[in-house]
């Protein structure tokens, strides 16, 4: 054992496997673009805040804070004028402007991969532990 421990080092990077579900993004609906056969739901979070869907076609569950029984099919997109600023296809309640959504599984690589792309601010980051809230990263401007 001692000979091996001096020869080899083990490095791991557990990332999303361990902490993806430890973070989420709270976002709001800023526009609804009616289309056929589906509508686009534009939110105030985009690829500058969460690049994974644009970069890797990564899926992040999105759910509404509204408690309605009816569901509607939407393509959820960000506000940045890029064809890749798309979160994906979701069934959500019939949404209205300024209603809130939660983007889940953002605990790994959300803030660390965020940017000021297209003149956008880096997001505010809040740590929630039990019943305490603490700002750990202020919004950052260019």
Cite the active site residues.
81
- 3-state percent helix, strand, coil for the chain, nearest multiple of 5: 15, 35, 50
Going by their DSSP bridges, the two strands 100-103 and 62-64 should be labelled as antiparallel
- DSSP track, 91-130: EE----TT-EEEE---TTTTTTT---GGGPPBPPEEEEET
Going by their DSSP bridges, the two strands 39-43 and 72-77 should be labelled as parallel
């Amino acid at each position: 054992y001692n000979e091996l421990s001096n020869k080899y080092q083990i490095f791991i990077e557990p990332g999303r496997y361990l902490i993806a579900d430890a973070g989420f993004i709270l976002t709001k609906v800023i526009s609804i673009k009616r289309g056929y056969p589906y509508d686009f739901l534009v939110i105030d979070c985009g690829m500058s805040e969460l690049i994974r869907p644009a970069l890797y076609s990564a899926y992040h569950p999105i759910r509404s804070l509204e408690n309605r029984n009816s569901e509607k099919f939407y393509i959820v997109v960000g506000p940045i004028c890029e064809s890749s600023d798309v979160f994906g296809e979701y069934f959500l309640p019939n949404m209205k402007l300024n209603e809130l959504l939660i983007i889940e599984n953002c605990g790994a690589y959300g803030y660390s991969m965020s940017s000021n792309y297209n003149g956008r601010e880096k997001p505010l980051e809040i740590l929630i532990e039990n019943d305490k809230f603490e700002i750990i990263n202020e919004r950052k401007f260019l």
